[in-house]
Each structure stands twice: as C-alpha cells, then as structure tokens.
Amino acid sequence: MSRTKKSLLTGATVGAAAFAMMVGGTGFASASPVVSQSHGSCVWSADVVHIGGLPRDGYGTSWYIKTGRNDNTNAKCSFEVQAKFKLQSGQIETVQYGSSRPAHDQAFAKGAARVWSVGLKVCAEGQGCSAWNIQNSTWNR
C-alpha cells in the first residue's frame, strides 16, 4: 500500500475511534442512559437530556426528564420514573414522579449537576408492576 493510502487510512481510523470514544464510552451521548421497561403489554422508556447543548465535564445546569410510551396497545398502563442528579457540591438530588402527573416530563435545574442514574417502573392494570430498572450514568463513578 502506498504511503498516502496508509496515511489516509490511519487518519480515518484514528478519527473514527476518537468519535466512538467521545460518543460511546467517555462522553456525552452515553452519559445519560435510556431506560426501557415493560410489564404485560405496557412498554415505557425514560431518558434525561441536557437542555442547551452538551454539558461540560458532565455538569449541566438544566436537565429534562423525558418519558414515552412505546407500545401500540390500548392497555391501561402507568409508570414511575426516578432520576438522580449529583450536584457539583457532592449532594445527590432525587426527582421521582409517576404518570398520575398531568405532564409526563419534568425539568430539573438546581445548579451544576450530573445525571447519576435513571430508573423506571411500569404497571399494567390487573397485572401489578415490574421491578425497578435502574441504570447508572457513565458519570456515576
């Protein structure tokens, strides 16, 4: 292989690896896990996203807890979501709510904080509830 082709191939490989590390392992997209949970015919997911772009070093000042139903049934379902945030001071703040709230999404803004964990529990009418599915953030170290 010519020197130019080797150089281009090496550059592309290094670039792809750097992008994968940033997005997949140590960086932004993977910092907040997407949690899915199902019970009976009910399927829900929860995610926490930073409002206003990517947070620096994982600390952001405005977060948005999103939930969504992912099944196509008429089953009567409900959920509980729990998001834990680690403030820059070291204190852990917990936000927990259920589908009984009028709005299924919620903002969190109490100063610089990292997503610590996201959990979800789903209930189906007449079938009880699932166990909590709790996923830790990559910033939870």
Domains of the chain in start order, with CATH, are 31-136 (2.60.40)
Q: Hey, is 5 helix, strand or coil?
A: helix
- 10 vs 51, which has greater pLDDT? 51
From 1-15, 17-31, 60-74, the region with the lowest mean pLDDT: 17-31
Residue 25 in this model has a pLDDT that exceeds 60: no
Q: State the pTM of this model.
A: 0.72
Other CB atoms within 10 Å distance of the CB of residue 41:
15
H or E element at residue 3: helix 3-20
Cα 92 versus chain centre, distance = 17
**Phi, psi (rounded to 5 degrees) for 128:** 75, -155
Q: Give the rounded percent of residues in the chain with a pLDDT score beyond 70.
A: 73
> What pLDDT, in 10s, does the model give residues 67-123?
999 998 999 999 999 999 999 999 999 999 999 877 778 888 888 899 999 999 999
pLDDT, position 56: 72
Banded pLDDT at 11 (limits 50, 70, 90): very low
**Separation in Å, CA 89 to CA 12, 51, 60, 75, 128:** 40, 21, 13, 43, 39
Cβ partners under 8 Å of residue 50, min gap 6: 32, 60, 62, 63, 64
